[in-house]
Amino acid sequence: MFNRRVDGTLCRDVPAYRRIMPYLIRGRNEGAFYFDQEVDLTKTEPFIEKFNAAHPDTKITIFHVVLWAALQTYQQRPRLNRFVAGGKLWQRNGIDVSFSAKKRFDDDSPVFVVKRRFEAGQSLEEIVDYLYSDLKEGRSDKKSHTDKELDLFLKLPGPLLRFVVALERLADAMGLLPRFYIDGDPMFCSIFIANLGSLKMEGGFHHLFEYGNCPIFCVIGQTKDAPVVRDGELAVGRVAHLRWSYDERVEDGLYAQAALEQLRAMVEDPEGAGA
């Protein structure tokens, strides 16, 4: 029973040094590795402009390009799509992406969180259509699964709420959480992406939530002019920073670095990469 979960398959091809890591490094933030990645948008921004001219009702930003590149990377580097739960390493049974957005661009507007499962091989157009549908629903007055869940929990007195959360953590560690709970919770995902650039903010390094099992957080900063080297010459170019927080218990640095370089190449030249 304890070697089964509804959202993952137990990894049995793991070397001993990695199997012991969840016991030596007890939480995601204790095992977090932070990486700052600068991407050159020389080819990316013209691609976005071309796409938006052809799709005026579903315009994209760098967020959509990063998400598309991340999905391709997960497909080609599947060991990134693992997570730690109950002291064991699991392969997730799908690519689940969570992201947050504000209902309106004002100080008092609440933030909502969306979780979406994507299938391998989906085109950029299909991804954008899904996201626009999710954003439309999230910005409506309809309560999300998470809102309903929080409304119920927050009716409990503090001590009882702490007990319920502790019980949830135990059930998660034992693989006993039901599918409807995990499927509806945005903290059980492959990656969480936050686009602070849309708010004209520089990205920072986000903490990893100990609740749930999300092992990777990506924060996209604003696009800006910066010095870049092209063909050995210093020039001014458009760049953005992707700041990654990564649970190193999931996979080693060499595999993760190769995945990030693959993602960078796709973000910097989406048309050449087949977007």
Q: Is the pLDDT of residue 187 over 60?
A: yes
The CA-based dihedral angle spanning residues 253, 257, 259, 264, taken in that order and rounded to the nearest 10 degrees: 160
pLDDT at 182: 95
Confidence bin at 227 (pLDDT 50/70/90): confident
Question: Do residues 44 and 240 make contact, with C-beta atoms less than 8 angstroms apart?
Answer: no
N-term to C-term CA, the chain: 42
Q: Give the pLDDT mean for 152-177.
A: 91
pLDDT at 152: 82
Instruction: Note the pLDDT tens digit of each residue in 24-83.
Output: 999 999 999 999 999 999 999 999 999 999 999 899 999 999 999 999 999 999 999 999
Q: What three-state secondary structure class fits 231?
A: coil
Distance of CA 274 to the CA centre of its chain: 22
pLDDT in tens, 72-121: 999 999 999 999 999 999 999 999 999 987 666 555 566 778 899 998 77
Whether this model's pTM surpasses 0.85: yes
Across the range 186-199, mean pLDDT stands at 92
- The answer to whether the CB of 87 falls within 8 A of the CB of 22 is yes
Q: What's the rounded mean pLDDT across residues 144-171? A: 85
Give me the torsion for CA of 25, 29, 33, 35, rounded to 10°: 170
Q: Report the alpha-carbon distance of residue 243 to residue 203 in Å, rounded.
A: 7
pLDDT recorded at residue 148: 75
Cα separation, 30 vs 24, whole angstroms: 10
Q: Is 84 helix (H, G, I), strand (E, B) or coil?
A: strand
- Judge: domain 8-225+244-268, CATH 3.30.559.10: yes
pLDDT of 270: 96
Mean pLDDT, range 236-265, rounded to an integer: 94
